[in-house]
Amino acid sequence: MTINQPQMTEKKQQGSIQDYTKQGKHKLVVFSAPSGSGKTTVVRYLLDVIPDLEFSISATTRPIRAGEKHGHDYYFYTNEEFQTAIEKNAFIEYEEVYEGVYYGTLKTEVHRLWEAGKTVIFDLDVEGGLTIKKYYGEQALALFLRPPSVDILIDRLRSRNTETEEQLTMRIAKVHSELKFEQLFDKVIVNDVLSDTFVNAESIVTSFLKSED
């Protein structure tokens, strides 16, 4: 039986990747989910309870939000700076998530964390997560965090009050598209009761880190 997998339609690019980004027995953990599903909260919890993990900071051209810091939450680039980085093949992967709004994973970031002896953990959108998984294969554990329902997720997005109605409409449309890709991930975690999600995620990641390559 042939299974027809959903096709990605967003603009995605992958730069040439240096050898140092695919070395030895290094492992990576990728959390992906539609916006508002709670992946950042889960990643922060895992960083607190699993010492070997270190967060991979993405680069982005979106505006900085209140309370965020450059080099801590994201590397905030202008569009010109981001385009220059693309030309220099600085990214493992990058994506224009919305028109004029780019996100990307820097090669130097992964190298920095591996040099420090850490397991890299990513908080990425669905397409970015799948790109990392495709490249690193068994070195990477790709986890999809799914909301208990689309309606609940939409309520979460509205309650954040961080976007215009037009931006919110775009995010909601993207949610419906991204949910179609959960079957391509190694495991799916339904984020209903947060405490249960924490326990489940910690168990899955710990088992992966202890497993043989």
3-state SS class at 46: helix
**Would you call 165 exposed, middle or buried from its count of C-beta atoms within 10 A (0-12, 13-18, 19+)?**
exposed
pLDDT digits 0-9 by tens, 154-193: 777 777 776 677 777 777 777 778 888 999 999 999 999 9
Q: How far is CA 205 from the centre of its chain?
A: 15
Report field, pTM of the whole predicted structure over 0.85? no
The token pair at 90 is 């600085």
Give all strands of the β-sheet with 28-32 in edge-to-edge order: 53-55, 119-124, 28-32, 140-146, 187-190
- The better pLDDT of the pair 156, 86 is held by 86
pLDDT of residue 164: 77
Q: In angstroms, rounded to a whole number, what is the distance separating the alpha carbons of residues 190 and 178?
A: 15
pLDDT of residue 21: 55
Interatomic CA distance for residues 6 and 180, integer angstroms: 7
Domains annotated on the chain, with CATH: 25-210 (3.40.50.300)
pLDDT (tens digit, 9 = 90+) per residue, 111-139?
Answer: 999 999 999 999 988 988 999 999 899 99
Q: What is the pLDDT of residue 24?
A: 56
| pLDDT on residue 195 | 97
- Tell me whether strands 187-190 and 119-124 are parallel, antiparallel or unpaired: unpaired
> What distance in Å separates the CA atoms of residue 58 and residue 76, rounded to the nearest whole number?
9
Which pLDDT score is estimated for 15? 47
Q: What is the pLDDT of residues 5-63, one digit of tens each?
A: 444 444 445 544 444 555 557 999 999 988 778 899 999 999 999 999 999 999 999 99
- Find out whether 205 and 48 touch, Cβ atoms under 8 Å: no
